[in-house]
Structure 1
Amino acid sequence: MQDGNAAAVSADEKISGSREKGLNRVLEILEFLHTTQRAIGIGDLAKGVNAPRSTTYTLVRSLVDAGLLEMAGDGNRVYFGKKLYLYGMDYVRGNDLLRRGRQEVDNLSRETGETSELCMLQSGRYTIVHSSPGTRPFRISSATGLQIPLPWTASGRLLLAGFQQAQIEDMVSEDDLVLPDGRRLLLGDFIADIAKAEATGYCVTSGLVDAYTKCLAAPVFSGPGRVEATMCLVVPIDTSEERTGSLIGLLRDRAARLSIAG
């Protein structure tokens, strides 16, 4: 009898383990598509998530049947489906900060003529959750959903305010410290910048992501000392100090509107 119970428990554990592995594969597929930002062939997808092609094909077919993924183009490539879009809209409607933040970002962009963004921390990356382009003839590009290493941005320095040094060291890899032009930031300098941004209540970075822009960011608080998000403006690097100061003041005011407490 005991042997029978042990066998049943072992079978249940195998089923549970198989389901967990399958779920992990699904999450890897979704994350890979998000990172890739384009439809991709199932063979390339299997290589990207380091999974057998047959397993990947089976999971993709199930996700397509559920409406979470869709076949694109010639039917040999796959990307996110409409149901995920609907789930995302449900999230926006149910998230008060994001709903109000989108409005503030759009208003700020119209008011200043500059590219405006609402950013949050997601999976150890600075993530643009909403952006609104400016009205300049030469528009500064910004893409909702884009994830960037934290040390590259003004927002990253504010989003990590209040984190312990050991936590920051765990979140920032050596590759994160290498800028797009090959320059390398020092981790100690980045940590010092975080402390300075926390103390001043805003942050400005120039020429980190590219040589043409600077980023102004202000924190949005979800409670005393807890930075939930940032509002930021991406402006030309030659923006005057006077205008930069004016924009920082406006940015801090709008971020304070969103904050629950600060």
Structure 2
Amino acid sequence: MSNEAIDLGGNTAGEAARGGERRRGIDRVIMLLEALLKHRAPVRVGDIAKMINAPRSTTYEIVNSLLEAEMLENVGGDGHVYFGRAMHLFGWAYSHHNVHYRRIIETMDRLAAETGETVQLCGMRGNKYVVLDCRDSPGPFRISSDVGVEVPTPWTASGRLLLGHMSDEEIRAFVPAEDYRLPDGRVICEDDFLAEVAAARAQGFSETSALADRFTWCMAAPIRDGYGAIARTLCFVLPIDTPEPRRAELLSLLRDRARSLSLSNG
């Protein structure tokens, strides 16, 4: 009989340890990709090791494997790495395989062409809001947010819709206290935010002005999944001095297009 210890599941302790090491390795790959996504620029491998709190030797092994798979590529010839061509192919495959996502992108293209305004597709990532895709206004005054950058939900019109399925108590636990402080130091009252979430839930849209950016007016309409949940929003980001009749026209158009994209009436 083997001298290796047997665990209660019938696996050897050695197998369990190797399984744990593999899991840690997978976790570190995910952490590395997340770190690059948040940094949004090429990074030296040594700096990546610090970002994910992993040994340099382990980080180099992971990076070399990802380089061989073309998921990463060397940038600039000075030890910096960033996402490689395989990542583009993965994203392309997702956007072309997912029929609903293709419909959303086609709708965004048409909205931007018809209105000349900035159109965004937004959602949640953890407890933060993110722009998932964007079509910038072709005009001289451009307002846009970087795709994939995580932003506190209270700063956004979409956040008031995306948290609409939660109770006040759940929202209080979900949104960090520091997320109510805007970039210019102003603080959003938590009770006001909760009231605005309730209002957005009742009226089926949300509008905000001069929050994350004092020069913008934002409006969002829900895109519901097959269960009626709001997983994404369709948004316009407008100059804050956009006349009220124009805003009303755009809001009506936005709500109509978002309803056409929803898989459920809610």
Tell me the TM-score range normalised by the shorter chain. over 0.9
User: Deviations for 1:226-255, whole angstroms, at most 9, x for unmatched residues?
Assistant: 112110000011112211111110100110
Q: CA deviation at 1:135?
A: 2.4
Q: Distance in 1 between matches of 2:86 and 2:227?
A: 36
User: Deviations for 1:194-246, whole angstroms, at most 9, x for unmatched residues?
Assistant: 11101011100001111100101100111354112110000011112211111
User: Deviations for 1:15-59, whole angstroms, at most 9, x for unmatched residues?
Assistant: 011011111111110000000100011121111111121211111
Q: Distance in 1 between matches of 2:231 and 2:123?
A: 7
Matches within 5 A, 1:248-259: 248-259=251-262
TM-score normalised by length of structure 1: 0.94
| Secondary structure of 1:193's aligned partner | helix
- Evaluate the alpha carbon distance shift between residue 163 and residue 94 of structure 1 in structure 2; reply closer, same or farther with a 3 A threshold: farther
Q: Counterpart in 2 of 1:217? A: 220
| Secondary structure of 2:255's aligned partner | helix
Alignment-mate amino acid for residue 116 of structure 1: V
| Secondary structure of 2:187's aligned partner | coil
Matches within 5 A, 1:220-239: 220-223=223-226, 225-239=228-242
TM-score normalised by length of structure 2: 0.93
Question: Which ranges in structure 2 are unaligned for 5 or more consecutive residues?
Answer: none
| Secondary structure of 2:257's aligned partner | helix
Q: Distance in 1 between matches of 2:24 and 2:190?
A: 36
Q: Counterpart in 1 of 2:80? A: 77
Query: CA contact under 8 A between 2:182 and 2:188: conserved in structure 1?
Result: yes
Q: Distance in 1 between matches of 2:33 and 2:171?
A: 26
Q: Counterpart in 1 of 2:44? A: 41
Matches within 5 A, 1:5-154: 5-6=5-6, 9-154=12-157
- Evaluate the alpha carbon distance shift between residue 129 and residue 73 of structure 1 in structure 2; reply closer, same or farther with a 3 A threshold: same
Aligned residues between the structures: 262
- Evaluate the alpha carbon distance shift between residue 260 and residue 179 of structure 1 in structure 2; reply closer, same or farther with a 3 A threshold: same
Cα RMSD (Å): 1.7
| Secondary structure of 1:223's aligned partner | coil
Q: Counterpart in 2 of 1:204? A: 207
User: Deviations for 1:50-73, whole angstroms, at most 9, x for unmatched residues?
Assistant: 112121111111111111111111
Q: Percent identity?
A: 42
Q: Counterpart in 2 of 1:162? A: 165
206-215 vs 122-131, greater mean Cα deviation: 122-131
Q: Distance in 1 between matches of 2:207 and 2:134?
A: 18
